Amino acid sequence: MRSTYRLAWNRRSLELGRRTCIMGIVNVTPDSFSDGGRFLNHGAAVEQGLRLAAEGADILDIGGESTRPFSDPVSTETELSRVIPVIEALAREISIPISIDTMKAAVAEAALAAGASIVNDVSALRYDPDLAATVARAGVPLVLMHMLGTPKTMQQAPHYDDLFGEIEDFLAAAMERARSAGIRRDLLIIDPGIGFGKTVSHNLALIQGVRRLAALDAPVLIGPSRKAFIRRLLSDDPATPLSPDDPDVVHGTVAAATAAILSGAHLIRVHEVAPARAAARIADALIAEDSEVTSDE
> Identity (one letter) of the amino acid at 7?
L
The region of weakest confidence among 28-32, 59-63, 229-233 is 28-32
Tell me which fold the domain 17-296 belongs to: TIM Barrel (3.20.20)
Task: Judge whether 119 and 141 are in contact, CB under 8 Å.
Answer: yes
Instruction: Note if 269 is an active site residue.
Output: yes
* pLDDT in the model for residue 119: 98
* Confidence band of 288 (pLDDT split at 50, 70, 90): very high
The Cα 181–Cα 178 span in angstroms is 5
pLDDT above 60: residue 6: yes
CA atoms within 13 A on the CB side of 154: 21
Q: Residue 38 — very low, low, confident or very high, per pLDDT cuts 50/70/90?
A: low
Asked whether 28 and 22 are in contact (CB, 8 A), the reply is no
Contacts of 289 (CB under 8 A, 6+ apart): none
Report which of 207, 220, 206, 120 is spatially closest to residue 165, judged by C-alpha positions. 206
Neighbours of 88 (CB within 10 A): 17
Of all residues in the chain, what percent carry a pLDDT higher than 70?
A: 91
Alpha carbon distance 53, 82 (integer Å): 20
pLDDT at site 68: 66
Residue 40 reports pLDDT greater than 90: no
> Which residues in 184-213 are b (16+ Cβ under 10 Å) and which e?
beebbbbbbbbbbbbbeebbbbbbeebebb
227 is catalytic: yes
pTM of the model: 0.93
From the list 82, 226, 227, 277, the catalytic residue is 227
Burial of 117 (0-12, 13-18, 19+ CB in 10 A): buried
- 73-111 per-position pLDDT tens digit: 889 999 999 999 999 999 999 999 999 999 999 999 999
Q: What share of the chain is helix, strand, coil (3-state, %, to 5)?
A: 45, 15, 40
Q: Of 7, 30, 2, which is closest to residue 18 (Cα–Cα)?
A: 2
Q: What is the Cα 179 distance to its own chain's centre? A: 20
Cα–Cα distance measured from residue 98 to residue 84, given in angstroms and rounded to the nearest whole number: 12
* pLDDT tens for each residue of 196-238: 999 999 999 999 999 999 999 999 999 999 999 999 999 999 8
Alpha-carbon distances, residue 10 vs 34, 119, 140, 181 (angstroms):
33, 14, 8, 19
pLDDT interval class at 166 (50, 70, 90) = very high
pLDDT value, residue 149: 77
DSSP class of residue 235?
Answer: S
Range 128-149 average pLDDT: 96
Q: Is the pLDDT of residue 29 over 90?
A: no
Options 68, 226, 269, 277, the catalytic residue: 269
